[in-house]
Amino acid sequence: MNWRDLLVSPQTPIINTLEIIDKNARQIALVVDNKDRLLGTVTDGDIRRGLLKGRDLQEEISTVMNPYPTVASPYDNRENILALMRIKQIHQIPIVDEDGRIIHVEILDELLRPKQKDNWVVLMAGG
């Protein structure tokens, strides 16, 4: 998955953002400006709460986005990112540089997946 597939502009309609969230199966969309600076995040829960408050599916996603998302730095190690995700009870975390530009997105399931090693094993059996 390319994290760029998760990006939307603040003017993107809610319905289009919902389609992006559904298609990428990462449960999140990232609202960015034209320089990939993070403005906010959107989950299906944010959209659901907006709809319950009377928002229309054609409104801009900026009306329901979280403008204060939890982010990590490229200098944070895996353990710190996992700890932050557990504390905040989130499954995705954007990694942003000093200028607020997204450079990566960490996904909890991928961080917890054991690393695959290219170890060859030869078993010799006989009698």
| Average confidence (pLDDT) per 10 residues, the chain, 127 residues | 91 96 90 96 95 96 96 94 94 95 91 73 71
Specify the pLDDT at position 46: 95
Domains of the chain in sequence order: 3-112 (3.10.580.10)
Specify the pLDDT at position 59: 97
DSSP 8-class letter at 23: H
Angle at 56 between CA 51 and CA 57, to 5 degrees: 90
Closest by alpha carbon to 92, among 33, 52, 12, 38?
38
Specify the pLDDT at position 126: 72
DSSP-derived 3-state class of residue 85: helix
DSSP-derived 3-state class of residue 71: coil
